[in-house]
Structures are given as structure tokens and as C-alpha cells.
């Protein structure tokens, strides 16, 4: 199970069905995709089409209704919440539209959090370094509500990279930001991603952002389709 | 990993405390501990102060009455335990002055008497008394004003007691342990204990009571009694404390103590309510951090450790601050009332502190439990799906656990299961009522809420949406208001009753032996002096001989005892008979009927006082036989009466139908009120009527009034404390819910809703909640009060219609105002600050 996997993400016929007051609702039709290590993948689609749902399954935040998901070899579909939490802590980084920083911890402490949870050595030093990388070294002592949206998202990026995760999930990371902040955050995201050779799964409805990824997937009413076209040249070259 | 949890918990605690995010829960715990601590400490101290004051009425903390002198070793043992002792001998004896003789109540105290209270003397009869430290010197006698009158004595005259002569040197105007009986006692004569044996009046055959007085620390006294008890013989010895006292005074103090206890219990409930609300809010606030931590890979165990640790830190800090605040508050209050009720500031009681800390801990733990379980169950998915709440449904179990905890706390503190149960059951009824109303409101609101979006619709929508989840809030408002109502109304009723007991102008002098012939002159004389007389009661002295022809047993009372046993006048073989066409004030027929409702040809009736009837086993229809002089009077028991012994009014065990007594010439008794400043006129008032005996109960009434005033004052202060605590709880509750509303307000604001609309809707929402809470509280209040009054306070139950209107109005007003104020504050912040404040 822990042999070096070919694909960093591998899914087989993953579906998601939820109970609602009006009966069962199938949010995702069977989805099978494979993602290579280091690949950057954009998922685009209309609001409500199921992008976030797919992301939550891939990241192990939620349970599949059926099908299989292997995340860096770990069979998420057969793990319970505790098991998935461990996988998340070891292999996954997150960036969200609404930043999701702990309001009562400072920027620095927010960045330290995953390192501490994972039990890494010298979390503070690592966090300081990460803070520098996102250009906020002088704001480490500030609380999230003392930072602008763009700054908060940069803190979130620093937090996502501190454990050097194999895979990074970003759900509309620029959705709450203005144009200039979006650009800054985008650049930071791709730069760090390239430097650390992380696999990136990015949900967005910004076509230009999607264009920067190796692959684009289109979600439509729970059906995922590959948008034909350019396969990432960088990856094939590397 | 464990150290990490501790680090994180500490870090979160530090930051959140600094940022004021823990204020609400911290404040709730603090408030609980402070309220319970200050209230119960204050009441324990007040109680000791009042007990100390009332101890004066038995001249000591404890009294041992004996028929024979007790073993000296008993007293040595007491002194060894650090208990002060004193001694006095009572007997009834004939005293002589020239040709006059009179039966008196003879008291011979030692020099330590009285241990509590004061002896007062005057230079001339009926003058106001002044406190004396000394007691009569050798061969001196101090005698009551009445005796001067009865025996034609003056200061300096000689009085013979048994074989010895004593010089009358002072007027004995007051002894602390005189009891409250108005006419029971013969006039008192006090001589030194050392001179008693020589008189020979306590020889064989005499009825003598040896009283031993004890004062000291109540634990020491209890321990001493434990030691003493096996040695006592019930036939010979009687151990008394002021709490055993059935006098108006003992009852007032007893009732006040129940009130204090009630207030402390209510503080416990208030504490629980405010913690419950705060804990819920605390948990909701942490949904996001928990979701984030879980997303980042934190295990369930780790999240649990972090938050349990944090709650522990909060509780510890809350206990510490609450304890301090509580101590300062009660210290301040005691200092403030020092002038009216002297409370010993050095007296320390541990129980209030323990119970306060316990309350804090138990409430914090139990009321956090369910919110924390909810918190732990938060799914990491919340980071993506922002509206995801918690998924735990053990609310019923939580209510049950928390409810029983409160009950047990109340019981442990009060050691009064009945009182605790009453409060608890009323609470349950209230909650049930509220849940019913909530459902009702939802149904009504569904109809009302349709149509154009205005403040009302918005408010309704919010109430509807929150109705179930935040029923806790409605419950907490109602419980708080109800508790405030209970203490308020209880205090009003109690103080009213105390006032009724001793209204201004309560007669402070009684006259007996007024002859038929004297009556008109006496009335004229008093009217001329501008003193109004109360009703004249005809009285005939009689001997109570038989019930249904069966001889009643001879008087078995100990004579010395009668002065301490109030309300037994005439219950020997000697009886004062009166007759009347009308039922006396504050008398109530419990069995049978008054004369007017009996057939005309029925045999002459008698109405018997209920307690006397019970004691002597007298039933309706029994024939009672009295001897009046040489005549025999047979009367049939036609009614049993309850008498309010709490009023300082003449009361009679036997009231006869007038026709039965038509042949007898009575004497009359009456009473009047003379203000203290007119006291010097009494001699002149009475001069023409040498045969009339005057009883001066002014001092007694003043003593009683003084104590009742102090008790009332104490009750007022307790009320103020409870009201203050309750208001703080209300404020905290509104604040907590404001906090919850922030997010919603921010969204409404962002969507462009006008400030006026938002304010209006919040105001309406709080008005509705406040009004409903107030109404429900008023309803539950009636139930609670009825149970409390009839089961605990031994008062008649009362209904308080006015509060059915007042409570909803005030509830709506106060809650609405607080809500509006909180909302105003939020609206002064601009939208982006609001959005950022969203957690
Ligand atoms: N637990 C759930 N219960 C009911 N409906 C859900 C649940 N989770 C997602 N949905 C619905 O599934 C659809 C897809 O949601 P989501 O994945 O968030 O879409 P996207 O991220 O593409 O906007 C939406 O219509 C959403 O309301
Ligand atoms: Mg989405």
C-alpha cells in the first residue's frame, strides 16, 4: 500500500450522494481521474456544479458514497475521519476562499499550527521562514482581522506550505480578493508550488487562472470532463 | 503531542482572554461564583447576627431548664469548652408588704446573668428603663412597676420574701427573657441568687425552675450538647435555643432565614442559567477553529484535549475572580448596613465558599458538556461548507444531567429537599410551558411572517429560525425573570405581613380588672386625656373542671416555664372566659359555626381556640364545664377557632355565647396605645383607678419591632443583591445573543439593509422574546410562590395578578432595551469591521 505510487491522486468511480428533505441528491456522478505528481490541475464549472464537493472528497475532508480514492497511496475511501485527519496532516495543504485562519491566533501562530499538529521540529522557525517567503515578516504578530484580505490569503498560503505537503488543495483562492491582490496571491501560489514541486488542485471560475494550470477539468452538474487541449508542456519536459 | 495541546490551549486562552472573546463565559462563571458566594456568605453572616440578636430573648444562646440544681461538673465541663455560663432560679411565691400580699414571679439570677440582652431599671414606676450592668445588691429587691401599684409600694419600702426582708431599690422595667405573653406572668421580683436559700421559698414542695444559660461558639455549643444529651432526663431537663422559639419573633427570624436560603438557591439557578447560555455561545464561537484544526490534521483527541484544557483554564480563572468579587461584594454590603444590622465582619463561614466554587465547577462542567460535545463533533467540512453546524443530538440527556445537578446542588446547600424540589419543579413546568409556546409561536409566525419584508417579518423570521436551537435563550430569560419575581414578591408579602403584625399604634398597654361600675368614668377620663381605648372585653375568672363530665387533669405545667411559653395563657385549670356576639379580629372559624348560624334553641355554645382544642382533645359537641365562683356553667363546643397569635392582641382560649354568662358580673380588659414620649403621663392616667392592673408591653413591642425592622432590612439587601445579579445575567444573555447576531447583521448590512430596518427588527425581536419570557415567568412565578408560601413559609398563598401584566411589560422593556443597546453598538461599527469581527 505504501509503495511509491504512480499517481499522486487516483480515483475510481467516486460518487457523492446526500440526503436532503426532498430525498436523495446525487451531487457527483461517478468520477475517475488520475493526477501525476507535481501536476497542476484546475477544476472549473458553474457555481453549485459540485467542485467543492469533489475537492472535499479528494482532500479527505468528507466520505465518498461509493468508489475509491487513493491519495499518495492512502486509501481514503476505507479510512475513518481519524485516519483521514492523519493523512491530511501528513500530505495535504489547504487554501480557501474565506482564508480560514484561526481568528484568535496571530499570523505567525496560524502558520505554525499545521507544523505543530504534525509534530514537526522547530515550528516557530519554519513559520518565520514561511512568513518571509510570503513577504509578511513584519506582520507575524498581527491577528487575522488586522490584516487585509490579500494579506490573510498570503498567511494562508504560508500555512499551506509549511509542512511541505505532497498535494495542495485550493478552493477559489482569489474569490474574495480584488484584482491586484489576486495577482499577488496567484503568483505566490504558483511560485511556491513550483519551488516545492507540489501537486496543486485548484478550484476556480477564473479562466485566466485555470489557463495557468497543466490540466483543466470541467465540472457540470456533477459530471467531470477533461477539457481537451494543451497538456502541460512543462511537465512533459521535466 | 500532549505538550502541543497544552501549548495550543494556553495560547488560545491567552489570546482570547486578551481579545475579550472569553468575556462572556468568564463573566458567567465569575458572576455565578460571585453571586452564590456573596449571597450565601451574606445570609450566613446575617443569620448569625440575627440569631445573636434574638438570643437576647432567651438571655443566652442556649438554656437548660431543670427542676433540680444540676451537677456542678456539667457547668465546669461547659466552661472548659470555652462556653460562658450563667444561672437563675425562678419560682412563684407570695410576697408581703405590710398587710398586702401578692403572688409574684421570683427571679434570683447570679452575677453573670444575662449572657445576652439587657436588664433595664427605672427610678420610679412606669418610667422608661435604662440599661444596668449591675444586679440587685445583697438584701435588695427590684420589682416591676405593676407591683408598686398592686401593693401600694414606693422605692425604699421593705418587701418580705419568705423569711427575709428586702429593700425595694429599683423598678425592674425589663428583663431579656420575659417572653411575649401579655398577661401570663405574675409581677416580677428580682433578688440576688445568693440571698435565695435564706428565704426558704425553695424548700421541698416548691415548684422551682433552675435555669442555666450558655453562650459561645455554635460549634462548641453543639458539641457540648452532644456531650450533655445522654445525661439529660426528659422529665427534668429541657434544652432550648432561640430557634426552637415559636414566638412572633422566632417566626420572623425563621422566615427571614428561609428567605435567605431561597435567595441563595435562586443564585445557584441563576448561575446555572447564565453559564448554560455562555457555554453554548462559547462552543459556537469555536466551530471554525475546530474545523480548521481538524482540516489541518488534528485528531479528535487532540481537539478534545485543547478545549477541555481551555475550559479548565477559564473555569479556574472564573472561580478565582468570582470568589474575590463575591467576597468584596458581601464585605461591602455588610459594611454598608453596619449601622442598622451589626454583623461581625470577622466571622467566617466555609460553606458559602465551597458551595460557590462547587456551583461554578459543576455548572461549568455540566453546561459545557453538551456544547463541547457539539464542538468536538464539528466536521472539518465546515471549512468548505460554511453553514455546517454540529451533529449531536443528546440535548435531552444534557438537560436531564444539568437539571439533576442543579437539584443536587440546591439540596446539598439547603439540606431542604422540599424547598429544592419546589424550585426545581417550577423550573420544569416553566420549561415545558416555554417549549409549548415556542411551537405555538412558530405556527402563528408562519402565518404572520408572510408578505412584505419589514422589521416585523424579519424579526419573526429570526425568532422562528432560532426558536428551537435557541430555546435555551428564551428559557434563560424566563427563568431569570421568574427568579427575580419570586424574590421580589416573596419579600413584599413577607414584609407586609411583618408590618401587619405590628402596625403603628399597636397597643402597648393593657388594663385588666376594670369593674363594671368604673367603666364609664374610665372611658371619660381617658378620652379627656386624649388616649383612645380599644375594645373592652368582659372577663370572668373560672376554673375549667370537666370535658363531657370527665375531670380534666390538674395543672401539670412547671410554673417557671409558663413565662417562656407564649400563648398558653389560661390553659391551666384557671381560665379567663370572655363572651361576645361577634368574632374577634384575626380569628377564623375552622370547624363548626358561630352563634348566629346556630338554631335559637341550641344549648349555650363555646368557641375553643384550635391549638388548645387539639392539646386537650376537645371536639365539636363536647360539653365543657367551668366553675365560676360557686356556680357551674356547662357549655357545648360549637366552633373551633384559629387565632393569629402573631398579633399583639388579647386572645382567649374560650369565647362563650353571651347568654351563658348573662348572670355573671364581669370585669373588663382593654388596651391602648400611648406613644413613648407620653410615657410619663401614665401615672396620672391610672391614678383614679387603683384597682386596675396595668401591663406595660411597650418595651417588648419595641424590641420586637426593632428585630423585625432589622430582618426586613436584611431581606431588602438580599433582594437588591439578587436583583443586581439577575440584571447582570440578563445583560450577559443579551450580550451573548448579540454576539451571535453579529454575522447576520453584517450580512444584512452588506446586502444594503438600512440601519433603521435592522434596528427595528432586532428591537421587535427582543421585545417579543422579553414579553413572552415575562409572561411565562409571571405564570410560573404564581406556581412557585404558591408552593413556597404554603409549603415552606407557612403563609397563606396569594395571587399577584398585577405581575401578569407587569412582568411581560417590564420583560419586553428591559430585554428590548438591552437588545437595542447591543444592536446600536454593532451598527455604529462599519460593515467591513463587522464582517471582520465575524468568526
Ligand atoms: N450536504 C449537502 N446537503 C445538501 N446539498 C448539498 C450538500 N453538499 C452539497 N450540496 C449541494 O450540492 C451542490 C454542489 O455543491 P458544491 O460542491 O459546493 O458546488 P460548487 O463548489 O461547485 O459551487 C450544491 O447545489 C449544493 O447545495
Ligand atoms: Mg464551491
**Is there an atom of ligand 1 within 6 Å of A27 CB?**
yes
CA atoms within 13 A of residue B184's CA, in its CB half-sphere: 21
Please tell me whether residues B352 and B266 are part of one structural domain. yes
Contacts of A116 in chain B (CB under 8 A): 4, 7-8
Confidence of residue B464 (pLDDT cuts 50, 70, 90): low
Q: Does residue B682 belong to any structural domain of this protein? A: no
Strand bridging mode A34-35 / A199-203? unpaired
CA distances from residue B277 to B29, B282, B360, B538 in whole angstroms, order as listed = 11, 9, 14, 66
Q: Does residue B227 belong to any structural domain of this protein? A: no
Please tell me whether residues B36 and B96 are part of one structural domain. no
Structure letter (DSSP) for residue B552: P
- The residue out of B622, B639, B672 marking a domain boundary is B672
Residue-level pLDDT at B580: 87
Residue-level pLDDT at B81: 92
Q: How much is the ipTM here?
A: 0.91
Q: List the single range of B239-243, B245-249, B759-763 with lowest mean pLDDT.
A: B245-249
Determine the residue among B17, B25, B297, B304 to mutate to test chain A binding: the one whose Cβ has the most chain A Cβ atoms within 10 Å: B297
**Is there an atom of ligand 1 within 6 Å of A221 CB?**
no
Question: B412 or A8: whose pLDDT is higher?
Answer: A8
Contacts of B1 in chain A (CB under 8 A): 119
CB B351 within 8 A of CB B25: no
Residue B577 CB partners (closer than 8 Å, separation 6+): B539, B540, B541, B542, B626, B628, B652, B654, B656, B661
d(C-alpha B567, C-alpha B572), whole Å: 12
Q: Does residue B526 belong to any structural domain of this protein? A: no
Structure letter (DSSP) for residue B195: G
Residue-level pLDDT at B802: 85
Contacts of B11 in chain A (CB under 8 A): 105, 109
- The residue out of B672, B688, B709 marking a domain boundary is B672
Query: By residue range, what is the domain housing residue B375?
Result: 1-61+236-415
Question: B447 or B207: whose pLDDT is higher?
Answer: B207
| Interchain CB contacts (distance < 8 Å): A and B | 92
Please tell me whether residues B411 and B439 are part of one structural domain. no
Task: Pick B11's closest partner by Cβ from A86, A105, A119.
Answer: A105
d(C-alpha A173, C-alpha A77), whole Å: 26
Q: List the single range of A107-121, A189-203, B180-194, B414-428 with lowest mean pLDDT.
A: B180-194
Please tell me whether residues B282 and B332 are part of one structural domain. yes
Determine the residue among A16, A99, A116 to mutate to test chain B binding: the one whose Cβ has the most chain B Cβ atoms within 10 Å: A116
**Is there an atom of ligand 1 within 6 Å of A50 CB?**
yes
Whether the predicted pLDDT of B571 surpasses 70: no
Contacts of A155 in chain B (CB under 8 A): none
Whether the predicted pLDDT of B804 surpasses 80: yes
Contacts of A203 in chain B (CB under 8 A): none
Q: List the single range of A96-100, B50-54, B327-331, B621-625 with lowest mean pLDDT.
A: B50-54
Full set of structural domains in chain A with CATH: 9-226 (3.40.50.300)
CA distances from residue B52 to B49, B352, B592, B707, B719 in whole angstroms, order as listed = 5, 19, 43, 11, 22
Q: Does residue B517 belong to any structural domain of this protein? A: no
CA distances from residue B702 to B504, B698, B794 in whole angstroms, order as listed = 11, 6, 25
Residue B836 CB partners (closer than 8 Å, separation 6+): A145
Distance from CA of A230 to the nearest CA of B (A): 30
Strand bridging mode B574-579 / A9-20? unpaired
Whether the predicted pLDDT of B559 surpasses 50: no
Pocket test for ligand 1, best of A16, A21, A27, A54 (most atoms within 8 A of CB): A27
Nearest to B814 by CA among B751, B770, B757: B770
Please tell me whether residues B465 and B569 are part of one structural domain. no
Say whether A61 and B299 touch across the interface (CB within 8 A): no
Q: Which atom of ligand 1 is nearest to the CA of A49?
A: 22
Please tell me whether residues B346 and B411 are part of one structural domain. yes
Q: Does residue B764 belong to any structural domain of this protein? A: yes
**Is there an atom of ligand 1 within 6 Å of A52 CB?**
yes
Please tell me whether residues B410 and B463 are part of one structural domain. no
Pocket test for ligand 1, best of A26, A53, A62, A204 (most atoms within 8 A of CB): A53
Q: Does residue B786 belong to any structural domain of this protein? A: yes
Nearest to B34 by CA among B318, B332, B346: B318
Residue-level pLDDT at B831: 56
Mean pLDDT for back-to-back runs of 10 residues, chain A (238 residues): 67 90 88 91 90 92 92 91 90 89 91 89 90 90 89 92 91 86 87 88 88 90 79 37
**Is there an atom of ligand 1 within 6 Å of A141 CB?**
no
Structure letter (DSSP) for residue B77: H
- The residue out of B369, B387, B415 marking a domain boundary is B415
**Is there an atom of ligand 1 within 6 Å of A204 CB?**
no
Please tell me whether residues B201 and B117 are part of one structural domain. yes
In chain A, the N- to C-terminal Cα span, in Å, equals 27
pLDDT more than 70, % of chain B = 85
Please tell me whether residues B773 and B668 are part of one structural domain. no
If one counts the domains in chain B, the total is 4
Please tell me whether residues B483 and B568 are part of one structural domain. no
* A53 Cα to the center of ligand 1, angstroms: 6
Backbone φ, ψ for residue B832 (5° rounding): -70, -35
Please tell me whether residues B596 and B457 are part of one structural domain. no
Q: Does residue B538 belong to any structural domain of this protein? A: yes
Interface list for chain B against chain A, based on CB atoms closer than 8 Å = 1, 4, 7-8, 11-12, 15-16, 19, 21, 288-289, 291-300, 302, 379-381, 383-386, 836-837, 839
Residue-level pLDDT at B211: 92
Pocket test for ligand 1, best of A19, A48, A54 (most atoms within 8 A of CB): A48
Please tell me whether residues B799 and B747 are part of one structural domain. yes
Interhelix angle B755-787/B455-467, rounded to 10 degrees, is: 50
Confidence of residue B838 (pLDDT cuts 50, 70, 90): very low
CA distances from residue B294 to A55, A108, B288, B373, B376 in whole angstroms, order as listed = 16, 19, 10, 15, 10
Q: Does residue B725 belong to any structural domain of this protein? A: yes
Q: State yes or no: cis peptide before B114, omega within 30 of 0.
A: yes
User: Based on C-alpha coordinates, what's the Rg of chain A?
Assistant: 18
Say whether A104 and B297 touch across the interface (CB within 8 A): no
CB B93 within 8 A of CB B103: yes
Amino acid at each position: 500500500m505504501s509503495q511509491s505510487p504512480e499517481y499522486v491522486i487516483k480515483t475510481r468511480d467516486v460518487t457523492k450522494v446526500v440526503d436532503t428533505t426532498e430525498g436523495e441528491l446525487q451531487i457527483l456522478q461517478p468520477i475517475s481521474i488520475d493526477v501525476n505528481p507535481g501536476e497542476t490541475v484546475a477544476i472549473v464549472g458553474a457555481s453549485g456544479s459540485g467542485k467543492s464537493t469533489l475537492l472535499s472528497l479528494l482532500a479527505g475532508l468528507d466520505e465518498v458514497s461509493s468508489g475509491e480514492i487513493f491519495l499518495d497511496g492512502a486509501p481514503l475511501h476505507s479510512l475513518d475521519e481519524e485516519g483521514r485527519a492523519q493523512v491530511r496532516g501528513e500530505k495535504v495543504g489547504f487554501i480557501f476562499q474565506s482564508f480560514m485562519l484561526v481568528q484568535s491566533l496571530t499570523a505567525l501562530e496560524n502558520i505554525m499550527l499545521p507544523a505543530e499538529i504534525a509534530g514537526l521540529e522547530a515550528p516557530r522557525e519554519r513559520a518565520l521562514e514561511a512568513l518571509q517567503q510570503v513577504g509578511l515578516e513584519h506582520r507575524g504578530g498581527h491577528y487575522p482581522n488586522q490584516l487585509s484580505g490579500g494579506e490573510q490569503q498570503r498567511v494562508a498560503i504560508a500555512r499551506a506550505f509549511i509542512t511541505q505537503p505532497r498535494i495542495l488543495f485550493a478552493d477559489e483562492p482569489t474569490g474574495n480578493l480584488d484584482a491586484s491582490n489576486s495577482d499577488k496571491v496567484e503568483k505566490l501560489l504558483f511560485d511556491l508550488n513550483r519551488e516545492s514541486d507540489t501537486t496543486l488542485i485548484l478550484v476556480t471560475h477564473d479562466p485566466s487562472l485555470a489557463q495557468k494550470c497543466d490540466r483543466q477539468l470541467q465540472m457540470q452538474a456533477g459530471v467531470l470532463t477533461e477539457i481537451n487541449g494543451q497538456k502541460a508542456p512543462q511537465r512533459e519536459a521535466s | 503531542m500532549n505538550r502541543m495541546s497544552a501549548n495550543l490551549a494556553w495560547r488560545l486562552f491567552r489570546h482570547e482572554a486578551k481579545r475579550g472573546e472569553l468575556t462572556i463565559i468568564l463573566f458567567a462563571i465569575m458572576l455565578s461564583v460571585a453571586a452564590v458566594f456573596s449571597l450565601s456568605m451574606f445570609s450566613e453572616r446575617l443569620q448569625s447576627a440575627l440569631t445573636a440578636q434574638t438570643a437576647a430573648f432567651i438571655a443566652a444562646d442556649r438554656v437548660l431548664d431543670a427542676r433540680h440544681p444540676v451537677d456542678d461538673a456539667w457547668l465546669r465541663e461547659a466552661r472548659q469548652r470555652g462556653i460562658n455560663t450563667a444561672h437563675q432560679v425562678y419560682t412563684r411565691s407570695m410576697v408581703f408588704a405590710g398587710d398586702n400580699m401578692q403572688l409574684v414571679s421570683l427571679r434570683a439570677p447570679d452575677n453573670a446573668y444575662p449572657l445576652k440582652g439587657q436588664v433595664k431599671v427605672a427610678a420610679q414606676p412606669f418610667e422608661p428603663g435604662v440599661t444596668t450592668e449591675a444586679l440587685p445588691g445583697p438584701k435588695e429587691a427590684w420589682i416591676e412597676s405593676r407591683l408598686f401599684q398592686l401593693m401600694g409600694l414606693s422605692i425604699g419600702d421593705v418587701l418580705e420574701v419568705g423569711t427575709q426582708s428586702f429593700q425595694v431599690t429599683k423598678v425592674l422595667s425589663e428583663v431579656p427573657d420575659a417572653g411575649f405573653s401579655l398577661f401570663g406572668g405574675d409581677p416580677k421580683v428580682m433578688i440576688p441568687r445568693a440571698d435565695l436559700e435564706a428565704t426558704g421559698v425553695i424548700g421541698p414542695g416548691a415548684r422551682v425552675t433552675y435555669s442555666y444559660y450558655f453562650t459561645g461558639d455554635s460549634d462548641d455549643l453543639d458539641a457540648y450538647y452532644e456531650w450533655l444529651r445522654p445525661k439529660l432526663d426528659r422529665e427534668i431537663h429541657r434544652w432550648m435555643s432561640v430557634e426552637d422559639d415559636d414566638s412572633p419573633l422566632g417566626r420572623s427570624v425563621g422566615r427571614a432565614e428561609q428567605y435567605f436560603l431561597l435567595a441563595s438557591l435562586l443564585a445557584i439557578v441563576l448561575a446555572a442559567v447564565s453559564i448554560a447560555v455562555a457555554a453554548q455561545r462559547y462552543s459556537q464561537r469555536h466551530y471554525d477553529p475546530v474545523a480548521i484544526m481538524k482540516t489541518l490534521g488534528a485528531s479528535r483527541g487532540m481537539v478534545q484535549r485543547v478545549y477541555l484544557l481551555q475550559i479548565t483554564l477559564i473555569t479556574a480563572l472564573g472561580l478565582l475572580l468570582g470568589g474575590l468579587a463575591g467576597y468584596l461584594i458581601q464585605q461591602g454590603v455588610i459594611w454598608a448596613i453596619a449601622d442598622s444590622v451589626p454583623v461581625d465582619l470577622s466571622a467566617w463561614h466555609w460553606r458559602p465558599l465551597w458551595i460557590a466554587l462547587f456551583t461554578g465547577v459543576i455548572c461549568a462542567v455540566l453546561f459545557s458538556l453538551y456544547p463541547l460535545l457539539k464542538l468536538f463533533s464539528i466536521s472539518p467540512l465546515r471549512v468548505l461548507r460554511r453553514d455546517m453546524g454540529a451533529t449531536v443530538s443528546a440535548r435531552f440527556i444534557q438537560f436531564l444531567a444539568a437539571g439533576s445537578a442543579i437539584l443536587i446542588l440546591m439540596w446539598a446547600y439547603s439540606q431542604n429537599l422540599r424547598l429544592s424540589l419546589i424550585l426545581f419543579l417550577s423550573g420544569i413546568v416553566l420549561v415545558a410551558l416555554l417549549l409549548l409556546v415556542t411551537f405555538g409561536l412558530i405556527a402563528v409566525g408562519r402565518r404572520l411572517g408572510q408578505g412584505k419584508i419589514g422589521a416585523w417579518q424579519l424579526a419573526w423570521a429570526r425568532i422562528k429560525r432560532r426558536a428551537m436551537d435557541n430555546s435555551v435563550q428564551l428559557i434563560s430569560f424566563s427563568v431569570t425573570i421568574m427568579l427575580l419575581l419570586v424574590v421580589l414578591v416573596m419579600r413584599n408579602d413577607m414584609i407586609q405581613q411583618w408590618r401587619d403584625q405590628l402596625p403603628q399604634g399597636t397597643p402597648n398597654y393593657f388594663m385588666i380588672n376594670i369593674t363594671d361600675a368604673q367603666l364609664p368614668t374610665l372611658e371619660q377620663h381617658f378620652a379627656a386625656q386624649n388616649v383612645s381605648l380599644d375594645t373592652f372585653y368582659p372577663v370572668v375568672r373560672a376554673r375549667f373542671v370537666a370535658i363531657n363530665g370527665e375531670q380534666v387533669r390538674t395543672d401539670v405545667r412547671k410554673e417557671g416555664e409558663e413565662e417562656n411559653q407564649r400563648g398558653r395563657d389560661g390553659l391551666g385549670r384557671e381560665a379567663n372566659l370572655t363572651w361576645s356576639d361577634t368574632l374577634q379580629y384575626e380569628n377564623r372559624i375552622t370547624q363548626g359555626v358561630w352563634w348566629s348560624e346556630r338554631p335559637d334553641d341550641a344549648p349555650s355554645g363555646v368557641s375553643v381556640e384550635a391549638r388548645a382544642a387539639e392539646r386537650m382533645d376537645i371536639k365539636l359537641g363536647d360539653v365543657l364545664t367551668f366553675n365560676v365562683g360557686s356556680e357551674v356553667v356547662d357549655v357545648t363546643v360549637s366552633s373551633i377557632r384559629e387565632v393569629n397569635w402573631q398579633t399583639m392582641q388579647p386572645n382567649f382560649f374560650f369565647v362563650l355565647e353571651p347568654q351563658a354568662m348573662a348572670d355573671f358580673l364581669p370585669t373588663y380588659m382593654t388596651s391602648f396605645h400611648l406613644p413613648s414620649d407620653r410615657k410619663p403621663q401614665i401615672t396620672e392616667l391610672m391614678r383614679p383607678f387603683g384597682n386596675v392592673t396595668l401591663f406595660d408591653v411597650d418595651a417588648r413591642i419595641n424590641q420586637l419591632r426593632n428585630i423585625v425592622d432589622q430582618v426586613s432590612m436584611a431581606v431588602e439587601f438580599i433582594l437588591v443583591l439578587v436583583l443586581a445579579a439577575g440584571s447582570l445575567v440578563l445583560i450577559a444573555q443579551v450580550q451573548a445573543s448579540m454576539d451571535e447576531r453579529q454575522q447576520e447583521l453584517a450580512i444584512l448590512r452588506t446586502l444594503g439593509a438600512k440601519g433603521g430596518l435592522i434596528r427595528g427588527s432586532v428591537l421587535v425581536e427582543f421585545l417579543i422574546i422579553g414579553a413572552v419570557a415575562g409572561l411565562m415567568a409571571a405564570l410560573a412565578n404564581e406556581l412557585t410562590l404558591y408552593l413556597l408560601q404554603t409549603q415552606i413559609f407557612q403563609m397563606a398563598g396569594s395571587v399577584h395578578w398585577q405581575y401578569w401584566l407587569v412582568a411581560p411589560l417590564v420583560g419586553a422593556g428591559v430585554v428590548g432595551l438591552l437588545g437595542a443597546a447591543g444592536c446600536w453598538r454593532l451598527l455604529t461599527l462599519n460593515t467591513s469591521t463587522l464582517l471582520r469581527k465575524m468568526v
